Amino acid sequence: GEDVEQSLFLSVREGDSSVINCTYTDSSSTYLYWYKQEPGAGLQLLTYIFSNMDMKQDQRLTVLLNKKDKHLSLRIADTQTGDSAIYFCAEKEGAGAGSYQLTFGKGTKLSVIP
């Protein structure tokens, strides 16, 4: 079955860049996502990348996709204390309107040191 792996913890200093890594196994994944979960809250979609892209940039966020190695990363530039949260990598299998199945990793807890 599908599997998504992430490192569990990351600690960075405020102002530095954070890089959260993820590997996945399903080669048919069409979309890959990064979600953010703050304490006591639901998941908030941060960004996503389509499988035919290798990079996507959105303000402080940069997503890199290496489809050959099935490796996804999220870089947060100028990390702020408000970025402290758990970040989930997720993949969606299949394409088209009928595809919906998301497989999530266990999440990476990002701690930002002031």
Q: Does 17 bind other proteins (CB under 8 A)?
A: no
Residue 13 CB burial class (10 angstroms; 0-12, 13-18, ≥19): exposed
- The residue to which tokens 């940039």 are assigned: 57
Q: Which of 24, 107, 110, 112 binds other proteins (CB under 8 A)?
A: 107
Of the listed pieces 11-19, 62-70, 71-79, 93-101, which binds other proteins according to CB under 8 A? Answer: 93-101
Say if CB 36 and CB 94 are below 8 A apart: no
Report, in Å, the least distance between residue 106 CB and other proteins: 5
The answer to whether residues 72 and 55 touch, using CB atoms and an 8 Å cutoff, is: no
Q: Which residue's structure tokens are 């860049």?
A: 17
| Residue pair 20/85 in contact by the 8 Å Cβ criterion | no
Does residue 104 touch other proteins according to CB under 8 A? yes
13 near other proteins (CB under 8 A): no
- Of 2, 12, 21, 43, which lies in the binding site for other proteins, with binding defined by CB under 8 A? 43
Beta carbon nearer to other proteins, 39 or 82: 39
